[in-house]
Amino acid sequence: MLELRNITFDVNDEGGEKEIIRDVSLTIPDNKLVVITGPNGGGKSTMARLIAGIEKPSSGQIFLNGEDITELSITERAKKGIGFAFQQPVRFKGLQVIDLIRLAAGQRLKVVDACEYLSKVGLCARDYINREVNSSLSGGELKRIEIATVLAKAPTLAIFDEPEAGIDLWSFQNLIEVFQRMRENIKDSSILIISHQERILNIADEIIVVRDGRLVRQGGKDEVLPELIGTASAIPSCRVATEV
């Protein structure tokens, strides 16, 4: 279980100090797929980066399974079981897909075992296992390969920051199916997705709404989603996207 207690995050810009996240407290329970949503610029991705350790909070604490991880680096948090998938996956010229999966797994996997992770994300393993992770891969292919590396790592908490960013409709539908399979097989772990796409919200167990850096709503999908997409939304400035 992940817990944020009174998290605040400030940055310095030309106008002085700016508060991005404002005194947020929330819990990500075990064995759940949770989606954080809200308006663009509301702090969703910043919150994901704070959880992963890419950014450090100005104040407050972050706990993973009861342990205070606030001061741990991204590498130390990864060792504790936090996996992070970026909006735009990194390309690695000269690095093959199998090498990337082995790095994520932390061991020299056999080819057949590495291929199994690719199959889980809907890729034909023989076509991708020896491909370079470079510009020859499409955005959708890179997304699924990155998810395969997250699966290989088997994290306690898997974080996906706007996985729909930069991919076509066909690839997006495949990603939805991948997340659905992950949700069906979840065990002693959690999945956290940052998104405003209705189809991703529809597969969530819980939805967290963030606006202007504040937590404004958290609850079950059946309770929160109708408010977001209804004509008389309780959170009118939080528009849910229905298309990629």
Over residues 149-206, the pLDDT tens digits come to 988 998 999 999 998 887 777 778 888 988 998 898 888 899 999 998 999 999 999 9
Domain 2-228 has CATH 3.90.550.10: no
Q: What is the pLDDT of residues 87-124, one digit of tens each?
A: 777 888 889 999 999 999 989 999 999 999 998 888 88
In the chain, what are the domain boundaries? 2-228
pLDDT at 240 over 70: no
Residue 220 pLDDT > 80: yes
Is there a contact between 146 and 128 (Cβ–Cβ < 8 Å)? Answer: no
Residue 244 DSSP SS3: coil
Specify the range with the lowest mean pLDDT, choosing from 97-106, 219-228, 232-241.
232-241
Distance CA 193, CA 36 (A): 6
CA distance 129 to 126: 6
* Contact between residue 121 and residue 89 where contact means Cβ atoms under 8 Å apart: no
* Biggest CA pair distance of the chain: 55
pLDDT for residue 236: 41
User: What is the pLDDT at residue 243?
Assistant: 56
